[in-house]
Amino acid sequence: MGRFAALLRLTRIEHSIMLAIAVVAAELIAGRLPLLPVFILALIPPILVSMGSFAINDYFDVDVDKKNKKNDRPLVNGSLTKSNAMLVTALCFFIGIAASALINVYSFVIVLVFAVFAYLYSYRLKEILLVGNIYIAFTMVIPFIYGNYVVSNAPNANIILISIVIFLSGLAREIHGMIRDFKGDFKARRIKNLVYYVGGRMSAYLAFLLYIEAIGVSLFMFFFLMPFAFNLAYLMPIAAVDAMLLYVSIMQLSKKPDKSKFKLYRNLSLGAMALALITYLVVPLVYLGI
């Protein structure tokens, strides 16, 4: 693995792209895009802070990743060192926070708090029952809140509902991740998470209920809130998203889930969330005639 490719892998650049899409979607849903200089500047903090968050997470998790045989991780296979990861984190956090300060005070506070909690999560929060998982689910919501406040001083109703959908789906996905990685996490860090206390099957049921709630809110938006109300450009992709998430959650309700397909389920849920983000971007574009 080349060093540049290893850097992209360390920072999970695909997640940064998804966050950038979420920010633009939130700006549109909140009513408008900012002027071009602010538009470009506003994308820097979520992209860089997300990159730094993944780098610091791998820094602290290298032993856990080795136990879980995640040999594609740069710190596990030796493509990068722990000092490389710390340097990347420091640079990404500093530039991202500095850029946010040039936008407005709301953006600065959101980005600063996100960066601080990203470090705390990797260092300790992930070991606290459900707290770390709730944090990760909330990180999926933050770009929408951030994008809202880039262009507005008040919360938008659609942004609130979208945040609920993404938070519930993200928490469900986190629970599935706990089920997948439980053995490695427990051996390496003796982490006593939800799976430790209630078992994999009950955890899978909780994830299923969270997905059902998220699907319910997404359907509510179709019937009651513009620009999503009775909009086929919203309904068709969101129906596909809901179907994918429902499939993933049902498959893991089995008494003996097929562990060989955990990676498939992970990729399906990630693909579903990516499709949802694109939908939230496209629908207001179509509605506003941009």
**pLDDT digits 0-9 by tens, 85-117:** 999 999 999 999 999 999 999 999 999 999 999
Residue 146, in any domain of the structure: no
108 shares its domain with 160 = no
Query: Could you tell me which residues come within 8 angstroms of residue 144 by beta carbon, excluding any fewer than 6 positions away?
Result: 22, 23, 25, 26, 159, 162, 163, 166
Residue 144, in any domain of the structure: no
290 shares its domain with 172 = yes
Indicate whether 259 pLDDT > 90: no
Going by pLDDT thresholds of 50, 70 and 90, the confidence category of residue 290 is low
202 shares its domain with 267 = yes
Residue 73, in any domain of the structure: yes
Residue 150, in any domain of the structure: no
109 shares its domain with 165 = no
- What average pLDDT does the segment 18-44 reach? 92
- What average pLDDT does the segment 192-196 reach? 68
**pTM for the whole structure:** 0.86
Of residues 108 and 188, the one with the higher pLDDT is: 108
194 shares its domain with 252 = yes
Cα-Cα end-to-end distance for the chain:
41
Query: What's the rounded Cα separation, in Å, for the pair 159 and 23?
Result: 11
Query: What's the rounded Cα separation, in Å, for the pair 215 and 39?
Result: 31
Q: What's the one-letter identity of residue 103?
A: I
Residue 134, in any domain of the structure: no
CATH code, domain carrying 111:
1.10.357.140
Record the tokens describing residue 271, joined without a space. Answer: 């693909």
Domain count for the chain, please give it.
2
Residue 129, in any domain of the structure: no
pLDDT at 250: 85
Can you give the residue range of the structural domain that contains 219?
Answer: 156-290
- CA-angle at 250, arms to 245 and 255, nearest 5°: 145
Record the tokens describing residue 146, joined without a space. Answer: 């951030």
167 shares its domain with 68 = no
